[in-house]
Amino acid sequence: MIVDAQASAITGWVGPVPFSVDPQATVARLRPYYNVDALLGQRTVAGIKFLQVSYKSQDDLASAINKPSTFFRGQFIHAMPDVKEWLNQRAVLHTNESNT
């Protein structure tokens, strides 16, 4: 059987990333730690920059998400499946801090 459709990339997000840092340099730094394969794009959400990246396998993505944050250029960078999920967690933390 011949299939000519290309497989979908396994994608995730890393961030927040400082605006002053080159996205390619960030991906190069994260490649050995999070097993990032390639940079696909970038997005700014609520004034925070995130990079969309690809992984070679679902296992690499799952491993990256489960690893602790890494510190790069003055910022803790997280691997996540979706930027919205990270922003929601941040909002919950902020709400909890406001209520104490």
Residue 85 resides in a domain: yes
Q: Evaluate whether residue 86 is within a structural domain.
A: yes
* 38 occurs within a structural domain: yes
pTM, two decimals, is 0.81
pLDDT in tens, 61-77: 999 999 999 999 889 99
Q: Do the domain assignments include residue 3?
A: no
What 53-58 contacts at long range (C-beta under 8 Å, 24+ apart), as own/partner pairs, is: 53/11, 53/12, 53/13, 53/14, 53/27, 54/9, 54/10, 54/11, 54/12, 55/10, 55/11, 55/12, 56/10, 57/10, 58/10
Q: Which domain does 93 fall in, by range? A: 11-97
31-40 residue pLDDT tens: 999 999 999 9
Answer whether residue 2 is part of any domain.
no
35 inside domain: yes
Say how many domains are in the chain.
1
Q: Which CATH number covers residue 57?
A: 3.30.70.330
